[in-house]
A and B are shown apart, each in its own frame.
Chain A
Amino acid sequence: DGGITQSPKYLFRKEGQNVTLSCEQNLNHDAMYWYRQDPGQGLRLIYYSQIVNDFQKGDIAEGYSVSREKKESFPLTVTSAQKNPTAFYLCATRGSSGANVLTFGAGSRLTVL
Chain B
Amino acid sequence: GENVEQHPSTLSVQEGDSAVIKCTYSDSASNYFPWYKQELGKRPQLIIDIRSNVGEKKDQRIAVTLNKTAKHFSLHITETQPEDSAVYFCAASIGSGGYQKVTFGIGTKLQVIP
- Shortest distance from the beta carbon of B90 to any chain A beta carbon, whole Å: 9
Q: Are B1 and A59 in contact (CB under 8 A)?
A: yes
Q: Are B89 and A94 in contact (CB under 8 A)?
A: no
Q: How far is the CA of A58 from the CA of B2 in the complex (A)?
A: 11
How many chain B residues touch A (Cβ–Cβ < 8 Å)?
A: 24
**Beyond A42-B107, A43-B104, is A100–B43 a contact (Cβ under 8 Å)?**
no
Range, interface on chain A: 20 to 34
**Beyond A59-B1, A100-B34, A100-B93, is A43–B100 a contact (Cβ under 8 Å)?**
no
**Beyond A42-B104, A107-B43, is A48–B99 a contact (Cβ under 8 Å)?**
yes
Helix, strand, loop or mixed for chain A's interface?
strand
- Shortest distance from the beta carbon of A29 to any chain B beta carbon, whole Å: 12
Q: How far is the CA of A43 from the CA of B93 in the complex (A)?
A: 13
Residue A102 at the B interface, CB < 8 A?
A: yes
Interface-lining segment among B13-21, B44-52, B53-61, B65-73: B44-52
Q: Are A90 and B44 in contact (CB under 8 A)?
A: yes
Q: Are B9 and A40 in contact (CB under 8 A)?
A: yes
Residue A31 at the B interface, CB < 8 A?
A: yes
Q: Are A45 and B107 in contact (CB under 8 A)?
A: no
Residues of A within 8 A of B (CB): 31, 33, 35, 40-45, 48, 50-51, 56, 58-59, 90, 94, 97, 100-102, 104-107
